[in-house]
Amino acid sequence: MGLLGTISDALKASTQSTSREERSGEQSNGAYWCHDCSERLLDLDVEGDEPPACPECGDEMTFERSPGSTGCAC
């Protein structure tokens, strides 16, 4: 196959999603952010209803909706 096979394999790999949403069947509603540290935690990775503490600085993180959800995340 050579070059053609390598290109084909690379294209297949780039189009396959490895996101948690598709792996688990759950859809994310957004993520928690620490704007000071630029840390991000997907909402599916957070347990409970309270905003988590930032793993870097310990401050409470802010929830922001994903672009695909309805409404403004402002």
What are the domain boundaries of the chain? 29-67
- The answer to whether domain 29-67 has CATH 2.20.28 is yes
Give tens-digit pLDDT for 23-58: 457 788 889 999 999 899 999 999 988 999 999 999
Coil, strand, or helix at residue 25? coil
DSSP state at residue 38: T
Judge whether 2 and 38 are in contact, CB under 8 Å: no
Rounded Cα distance, 73 and 63, in Å: 9
pLDDT-based confidence at residue 3 (cuts at 50, 70, 90): confident
Distance between first and last Cα of the chain: 50
**Longest CA span, the chain:** 53
- Overall pTM > 0.75: no
pLDDT above 50 for 21: no
